[in-house]
Amino acid sequence: MRRDLILMSLPPTYTRVVFAERPVGDIVPHKTFRIEPEHKLADLEPGEKQVLVAVDYLSLDPAMLLWLNENPYREPVRIGDTMDAEGLGTIVKTGKDSKWKVGQTVKGGFGWTEYAQMDDGAVALHEVPQGGQLLDFLGPLGNIGMTAYFGLFEIGKPKPGETLVVSGAAGAVGSLVCQLGVLKGLKVYAIAGSDEKVQWLEKELGVTKAFNYKNKDVYDQLKEHMGTFDVFFDNVGGEMLEFMLTRMNLHARIVICGGMSDYNNPTPSGIKGHLNLISARALMQGFLFFDYASKFGPAVAEMQQWLSEGKLKRKYYIVDGVKSAPEALPMLFSGGNTGKLIVRVSNIREGVETKE
């Protein structure tokens, strides 16, 4: 960490991206959001027990769509406010009595901005674990990892030898779920949207078999190779969910993590087979990772252990500049990115390597 460079490089102004208009249906990047350059950095002077953070990386996640409108689980982002986002940053200034030091890397809810003034207690220190990299705190060790971990283990409750099927399997969460399944001794069937992804899932992640849902005979293939399942970790919804409702073992569990096919669809196709839940005595359950905050410690420790043993693979798809965030976000729903979508904001922290 080149502390002298950090301190020298603070610019007079910074850019942030604000939430401009509630979307009806799809996000329209430069209508839903507005780029605001040339805010004075001097206005972000950290007060008592506060810090100024230069944002290095921001995480873009499907859940962000839920933050833009009325929803039951949190206040929506207010019009005119900086768009919320979790990120990694470097402390570049400390206020009176701050417990932090300039140069430390921290994680926090900085939002879509180049600089953020934060309370001491609103940021947390992170050290890169052996076998890991900084970005892993926005991947396996962050929200994505906790989503995969608690969705699979707390909702899916898989037992060794059971059959797990994962849709959106090459995505940030899905690819972790596949690997957790393999690590826990499950038969893992992965569904993704290209032959390249299928190859990656089978050869790199070691799933039992992967399927390209764009193949016309995908349902026949699934019947032949997968048969029926115990746990379905669903990131996609739509037709595949409908099909899976006909392929449940007794007491099957469908983990509703997302519905990418429906996010993208002005008229969600819906599901007609929910009565099959009766004869299979099965459940469909939604969840949000942050309900399990009290259990993050052991979960992160287990993920770090796997990372240090080289047992978890992950990809990062990085776009540059906070200004890119509005156009990058919709990629999560169109399949445009492969791997965890990240915005690289600052140039202060140089060249973090990415791994495939």
Binding mask 290-329 for a copy of itself (x = CB under 8 A): -x--------------------------------------
198 contacts 210 by C-beta, under 8 angstroms: yes
Instruction: Out of 17, 282, 341, 342, name the contact with a copy of itself by CB under 8 A.
Output: 282
Residues 29-58 within binding reach of a copy of itself (CB under 8 A): none
Q: In whole angstroms, how far apart are CA 225 and each of 165, 216, 276?
A: 11, 15, 21
Kindly state whether residue 276 participates in binding a copy of itself, applying the rule CB under 8 A. yes
Instruction: Out of 210, 248, 329, 332, name the contact with a copy of itself by CB under 8 A.
Output: 248
Smallest CA-to-CA distance from 114 within 334, 324, 355, 338 is with 324
Query: Helices (DSSP H) in 84-217: which residue ranges?
Result: 143-150, 172-183, 195-199
Kindly state whether residue 28 participates in binding a copy of itself, applying the rule CB under 8 A. no
Nearer Cβ to a copy of itself, position 265 or 305? 265
H/E stretch holding 299? helix 296-308
Kindly state whether residue 25 participates in binding a copy of itself, applying the rule CB under 8 A. no
Distance from C-alpha of 132 to C-alpha of 31, rounded to nearest angstrom: 38
Question: DSSP per residue over 9-50, as a string?
Answer: T--SEEEEEEE-S--SSS--HHHHEEEEEEEEGGGG---TTE
Nearer Cβ to a copy of itself, position 225 or 274? 274
Kindly state whether residue 268 participates in binding a copy of itself, applying the rule CB under 8 A. yes
Instruction: Out of 286, 320, 334, 356, name the contact with a copy of itself by CB under 8 A.
Output: 286
Stretch that binds a copy of itself, among 78-86, 270-278, 322-330, 348-356 (CB under 8 A): 270-278
Stretch that binds a copy of itself, among 68-76, 81-89, 168-176, 306-314 (CB under 8 A): 68-76
Stretch that binds a copy of itself, among 107-115, 160-168, 253-261, 316-324 (CB under 8 A): 253-261
Distance from C-alpha of 167 to C-alpha of 235, rounded to nearest angstrom: 6
DSSP state of 142: S
Task: Give min distance, CB of 159 to a copy of itself, in A.
Answer: 17
Q: Are strands 229-234 and 163-167 parallel, antiparallel or unpaired?
A: parallel
